[in-house]
Chain A
């Protein structure tokens, strides 16, 4: 079964609003990553947070990790229409081969 499960499945907001997506996982992880996928394209790596980190920032992105609750959240501030995409969390359970387990993603629509 998949480690990461995103919530909500779909999110629709207005440009300028913040978007929050959540990811839950089941077993201990070494790190958690967030990826973005534009429709019909490959995934693009956004940010990685290690199991000993609680929060990480990159531009308009903020990721938190709560290992006690086995959950992570991705916050996109001041969203833009260009942020419209699907967002996936990926958990790493085998560091030797980097076998990341991906959730089903959250589809974000930002309306101009």
Chain B
């Protein structure tokens, strides 16, 4: 069966510090991968998606970047965090031939 992992679960970082969030998927190959951010009480904002290794599409201009160094690994990064980067970050995957997305447990990021 497929499993998606995200870490860390929570993170408190000062403004100006770097960020690296990691997401890995097990039990499938060549998944589509997604990074979302969720503000408190709101829906999901799609940040990045990837249909293959090294293929990254950015949805909104921002202080973040994403990379996919391996088929089932998706990394969200920032060189210098802003207060506005605080939020709940969710990674998700789906099969190329399916519509259902499967979400990881999320990372709660607080920038202080």
Contacts and interface: CB of A to CB of B under 8 A. Distances in A.
Q: How large is the interface on B (under 10, 10 to 19, 20 to 34, 35 or more residues)?
A: 20 to 34
Contacts of B108: 40
B103 A99 contact: no
Interface in A84-112: 88, 90, 92, 95-105, 107
A82 interface: no
Determine the main DSSP class of B at the interface with A: strand
Contacts of B99: 30-31, 33, 48, 92, 95, 98, 100
Contacts of B42: 104-105
Q: How large is the interface on A (under 10, 10 to 19, 20 to 34, 35 or more residues)?
A: 20 to 34
Contacts of A90: 101
A97 B57 contact: yes
Contacts of A69: none
Contacts of A59: none
Interface in B6-53: 32, 36, 41-44, 46, 49, 51
Given A40-B106, A98-B98, A101-B46, 7 more contacts: A41-B105, A42-B92, A42-B104, A43-B103, A48-B100, A99-B59, A100-B101
Interface of B: 32, 36, 41-44, 46, 49, 51, 57, 59, 88, 90, 92, 94, 98-106, 108
6 contacts: A40-B88, A42-B90, A44-B103, A88-B44, A98-B98, A102-B44
